[in-house]
Amino acid sequence: MSVAVSLSPTASSAARRRATLSLVAGVALGSTGHIAAVTVATIAAQQLAGTPAIAGLPGAAVVLGAAVGSVVLSRIMARTGRRRTGLAAGYLTGVVGALGATLAVIGGSFPLLLAGTFLIGFGNSSNQLSRYAAADMYPGSRRASAIGTVVWGATVGAVVGPNLVEPAGKIAEAMGLPQLAGPYLVPVLFVGLAAFLSIALLRPDPFELADDSSKRTADMPDSGPLLEILGRPSVIAALVALVIGQFVMTLIMTMTPLHMDMNHHTLTDIGLVLSGHTFGMFALSPISGRLTDRFGSPAVIFVGSAVLITSGVMSAVAPPDGGVALFVALFLLGWGWNLGFVAGSALLTTSLSIVERTRIQGMADALIWGTAALASIGSGVILTVAGFTTLGLLGAALVLLPVSVLVSRRRQLRTGTSR
């Protein structure tokens, strides 16, 4: 696989900036379409299935699709050496899924809705993998900032996506279609535009614009054995930080709206708390990237872990009518997750060749999405059996796992040794 490209330093720098902006725009467009579709998934499922008992299945299908997409697309990228190929394939698959979900709503087919939402989730994996495409183009001292910039693009989707649901539904009705068909047409447009950007503007391909520190040298194999790669301290620490951070964030966030509803908070209050959480998750990503570049991934993961622990404890001790306390706790939950997500993603780019990191990064995202599914299912059980206080304290306790991994491997991470 060749990653060489004949550009002057000035032209290469301009091409990297253009590619990064294209990736940010793709994430903004892709996340807008994805979130608009996910917003109405349970409503559409209940209407088509006729019962709320299985209304959560489309959400599970989205998560499963994202996990599968992360693995499949990363393998495509590792084999072809072209991020543009993999990203565009993912986005186009998401468009096919959105069209299928639209037809499912029109035709009243619940199985087709599940298939469509699975493919929508598959397409969303392109959003997630875009951060690594950006990281490859910059030296180690700037990779976290590149990751944070691309992750920030999801802020647009988090804000715009839900607000497109109602107008899209009205447009669908004006066209003689069911109201819920409208939100599924949103990703057809927005995710389709993301695919177009990947095909038209990611030229040269980010692999070809890879920084020298990312390129494979003559004495470096394409990829080491998977078990050997997984055994490297930086990989272990990154995977644990990413997976546990996702689990804790999903565990608490998923049940917060229900907890607030059970304690007679208004929908406005619930919406404000979730908005604060979303702001913490995405809007501060550039800051998380700068901090990681300045102080290193382990230090920022430590800080993110401390923020997550604080959030879990605050969630647990917040009084039932404590809307302000929950707002702060959920904001910190989002920010702590973001610190660990950006720093962990950056750590996953170290001590690996460009092919190795492409393989591992796809697997990491598959684990993240699988973890989100388990946390979503388990959170309801824990809330029912033990209550929201236990949920918050359990989340805080689980964060000690990545902390212990970092402490036990701090010397290897500092020296960059593989054992």
How many CB atoms within 10 Å of residue 226? 12
Q: Show the tokens assigned to 38.
A: 């996910």
Q: Which amino acid is at 286?
A: P
Q: What integer pLDDT is reported at residue 253 of this predicted model? A: 85
* Distances 288 to 45, 49, 219, 333, 346 between C-alpha atoms, Å: 37, 42, 34, 14, 11
The chain-wide mean pLDDT, for the chain, equals 85
For residues 294 and 320, membership in a common domain is answered with yes
Bigger pLDDT: 210 vs 339: 339
Mean pLDDT confidence for 1-19:
70
| Residue 231's pLDDT band (cuts 50, 70, 90) | confident
Alpha-carbon distances, residue 385 vs 238, 376, 391, 395 (angstroms) = 32, 15, 10, 16
Domain stops at, among 172, 193, 214:
214
Of 56, 72, 179, which Cα lies nearest the Cα of 124? 72
Lowest mean pLDDT among 97-111, 183-197, 257-271: 257-271
Phi (first) and psi of residue 352, to 5 degrees: -135, 140
Q: Looking at the structure, do residues 152 and 261 belong to the same domain, yes or no?
A: no
Percent of the chain with pLDDT over 70: 90
Highest mean pLDDT among 75-84, 125-134, 185-194, 219-228: 185-194
Tell me which residue of 8, 3, 110, 102 sits closest to 50, measured CA to CA.
110
Average pLDDT estimate for 78-98: 85
The first and second tokens of residue 297, run together, are: 């991934």
What pLDDT digit, counting tens, does each position of 281-321 carry? 988 999 999 999 999 999 999 999 999 999 999 999 988 87
In a domain, 3, yes or no: no
Question: Is residue 220 included in any domain, yes or no?
Answer: no
- Residue 403, in any domain of the structure: yes
For residues 320 and 370, state if they share a domain. Answer: yes
Residue 297 in contact with residue 144, Cβ under 8 Å? yes
- Which residue's entry shows tokens 């992750």? 151
Task: Name the token pair of 161.
Answer: 């996506």
Give per-residue pLDDT as tens, 105-131: 999 999 999 999 999 999 999 998 898
Helices 9-39 and 110-136, interaxial angle, to 10°?
160
Q: Which residue do the tokens 């000690």 mark?
A: 400
Asked, for residue 180, whether it belongs to a domain, the answer is yes
- Distance of alpha carbon 105 from alpha carbon 44, whole angstroms: 7
Domain closes at, from 194, 214, 234: 214
Say yes or no: 168 and 275 in one domain.
Answer: no
Q: How confident is the model at residue 7 (pLDDT cuts 50, 70, 90)?
A: low
Please indicate, yes or no, whether residues 39 and 102 belong to a single structural domain of this protein: yes
The reply to whether 257 and 364 lie within a common domain is yes
Structural domain contains residue 221:
no
In this predicted model, which residue has the larger pLDDT, 103 or 9? Answer: 103
336 or 219, which is more confident: 336
Instruction: Decide: helix, strand or coil at residue 348.
Output: coil
Residue 276: inside a domain, yes or no? yes
Closest C-alpha among 21, 315, 5 to residue 152: 21
DSSP per-residue codes, 145-190: HHHHHHHHTHHHHHHHHHHTHHHHHHHHHHTTS-TTHHHHHHHHHH
3-state secondary structure of 7: coil
Is 219 a domain residue?
no
- DSSP annotation of 141: T
Confidence label for 1 from pLDDT (cuts 50, 70 and 90): very low
Give the chain's domain count: 2
Least confident of 35-39, 70-74, 166-170, 264-268: 264-268
Give the pLDDT band of residue 4 (cuts 50, 70, 90): very low
Asked whether residue 181 falls in the same domain as residue 247, the answer is no
User: Which CATH number covers residue 97?
Assistant: 1.20.1250.20
Are 22 and 106 contained in the same domain?
Answer: yes
The model's confidence at residue 33, banded by pLDDT at 50, 70 and 90, is: very high
Query: Which of 185, 214, 243 corresponds to the end of one domain?
Result: 214
* Amino acid code (one letter) for 140: G
On whether the CB atoms of residues 251 and 378 are closer than 8 A, the answer is yes
Which is nearest to 346 in space by CA: 386, 387, 294, 410?
294
Same domain membership, residue 285 and residue 325: yes
Least confident of 15-19, 164-168, 201-205: 201-205
* Alpha-carbon 305 to chain mean position: 18
The domain of 285 spans 226-415
The CA distance from 321 to 319, in Å, is 5
Both 131 and 245 in one domain: the answer is: no
> Is the pLDDT confidence value at 132 over 60?
yes
Local confidence band at 207 (pLDDT 50, 70, 90 cut-offs): confident
Helices marked H in 220-322: 226-230, 233-262, 267-278, 285-295, 297-317
CB 246 within 8 A of CB 372: yes
Cα-based distances in Å from 399 to 37, 251, 393, 410: 31, 12, 10, 17
Q: Are residues 249 and 125 in the same domain?
A: no
Q: Is the pLDDT of residue 92 over 70?
A: yes
The answer on 275 and 203 residing in a single domain is: no
Is 50 exceeded by the pLDDT of residue 93? yes
Residue 1 domain flag: no
Please determine, for residue 418, whether its predicted confidence score (pLDDT) is greater than 50: no
* Residues 57, 46: Cα–Cα separation, whole Å: 10
- What is the per-residue pLDDT for 224? 61
